[in-house]
């Protein structure tokens, strides 16, 4: 198990940032009018995926190069020119000076999340006899999206509009695999696995309300871990709201907190 240090933070933030920029690229291909795009600046990825999209933000800010005023000028202009506010997911490993610079420019914290990690397991998964997990095919994008939207929107109705396009985009995204879990032949849970340079990012897992507490999430986790192992990953990661049920479930599966991350927000000038 690697120590939680700058090297680990760079690796984890790069994996999540890469998944998000690929999402923006896939949205642009699937919905050409979306204007989704991204840039790299001072080692950080700045992703624009729509003004109100939860993936419109930066990853890795201040981790690969010292955070400077010119860097912030460039990134802020990228978002402001597109009518968006500026959000940075910031690792605490950037140091106090970077956080002080954000404060001096009027940023405020709006979200706290925990980045969790663990070694990838190598043994084959075992499920209850009535549970089956499979990788979805291109013709199942609509089914996968239906399950995902139902699961997520029950707890997060504010992002339902974003979720309605998620399935088509996720199916088109490179280096990401969609999984569907069934109980007694009935689809009930959906999840995604994104892979980048040996890091497997576990994300997008949701279960429809009526099939919760049936073991579907555990089966999704086990099957995705097995897939990650077979595709050369040595490290698994998840991101969860601090002290949430998602964090507790991840820790029950052997994940541990690498660091607590803060999202910093600067309102659009428009």
> What is the extent of the structural domain holding 183?
121-233
Residue 247 belongs to a domain: no
- Is the predicted pLDDT of residue 42 greater than 80, yes or no? yes
246 located within any domain: no
Residues 70 and 108 in one domain: yes
Do 88 and 180 lie in a common domain? no
Q: pLDDT digits over 214-235, tens only?
A: 999 999 999 999 999 999 999 9
Mean pLDDT for the chain overall:
92
Does 62 map to a domain? yes
Domain with residue 58: its CATH number is 3.40.630
d(CA 90, CA 178): 27
Q: Do 89 and 169 sit in the same domain of this protein?
A: no
Give domain status of residue 222, yes or no: yes
Residue 141 and residue 167 share a domain? yes
| Range with the poorest average pLDDT among 19-28, 74-83, 132-141, 163-172 | 163-172
Verify that 108 and 126 share a domain, yes or no.
Answer: no
Location of structure tokens 């920029």: 21
CA 85 to chain centre: 19
Q: Are residues 174 and 212 in the same domain?
A: yes
Q: Tens digits of per-residue pLDDT, 160-205?
A: 777 777 766 876 777 789 999 999 999 999 999 999 999 999 987 8
CA atoms of 176 and 23, how far apart (whole Å): 9
User: Is the residue at 244 inside a domain?
Assistant: no
pLDDT of residue 171: 67
DSSP 236: E
- Tell me, yes or no, whether 70 and 161 share the same domain: no
245 lies in some domain:
no
Q: Judge whether 165 lies within some domain.
A: yes
pTM, two decimals, is: 0.92
**149 and 101, same structural domain?**
no
Q: Tell me which DSSP letter residue 235 carries.
A: E
CB 136 within 8 A of CB 144: yes
Question: Alpha-carbon distance 157 to 15, whole Å?
Answer: 27
Is 253 domain-assigned? no
* Number of independent structural domains in the chain: 2
DSSP symbols for 107-131: -EEEEEEEEEEEEPP-SPP---TTE
Q: What is the SS3 assignment for 177-210?
A: EEEEEEECCEEEEEEEEEEECCEEEEEEEEECHH
103 and 128 in a single domain? The answer is: no
Same domain (yes/no): 73, 47: yes
One domain for residues 132 and 92: no
Contacts of 196 (CB under 8 A, 6+ apart): 14, 15, 18, 19, 175
Half-sphere exposure (Cβ direction) of 248: Cα atoms closer than 13 Å: 3
Q: In this structure, are 109 and 140 located in the same domain?
A: no
CATH code of residue 189: 3.40.630.30
Residue with tokens 């020119």: 81
């Amino acid at each position: 198990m690697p120590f939680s240090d700058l090297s680990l933070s760079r690796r984890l933030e790069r994996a999540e940032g890469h998944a998000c920029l690929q999402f923006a690229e896939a949205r642009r291909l699937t919905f050409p009018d979306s204007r989704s795009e991204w840039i790299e600046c001072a080692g950080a990825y700045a992703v624009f995926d729509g003004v109100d999209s939860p993936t419109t933000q930066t990853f890795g800010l201040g981790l690969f190069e010292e955070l400077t005023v010119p860097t912030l000028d460039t990134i802020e202009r990228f978002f402001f020119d597109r009518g968006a506010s500026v959000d940075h997911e910031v690792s605490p490993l950037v140091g106090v000076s970077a956080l002080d610079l954000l404060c001096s420019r009027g940023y405020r914290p709006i979200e706290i999340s925990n980045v969790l990690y663990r070694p990838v397991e190598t043994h084959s998964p075992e499920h209850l006899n009535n549970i089956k997990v499979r990788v979805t095919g291109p013709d199942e994008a609509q089914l996968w999206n239906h399950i995902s939207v139902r699961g997520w929107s029950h707890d997060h109705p504010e992002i339902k509009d974003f979720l309605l396009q998620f399935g088509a985009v996720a199916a088109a995204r490179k280096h990401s695999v969609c999984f569907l879990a069934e109980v007694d032949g009935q689809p009930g849970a959906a999840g995604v696995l994104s892979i980048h340079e040996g890091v497997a990012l576990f994300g997008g897992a949701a279960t429809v309300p009526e099939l919760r507490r049936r073991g579907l999430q555990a089966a999704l986790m086990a099957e995705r871990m097995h897939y990650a192992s077979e595709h050369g990953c040595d490290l698994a990661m998840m991101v969860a709201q601090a002290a949430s049920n998602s964090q507790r479930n991840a820790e029950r599966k052997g994940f541990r907190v690498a660091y607590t991350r803060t999202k910093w927000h600067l309102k659009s000038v428009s």
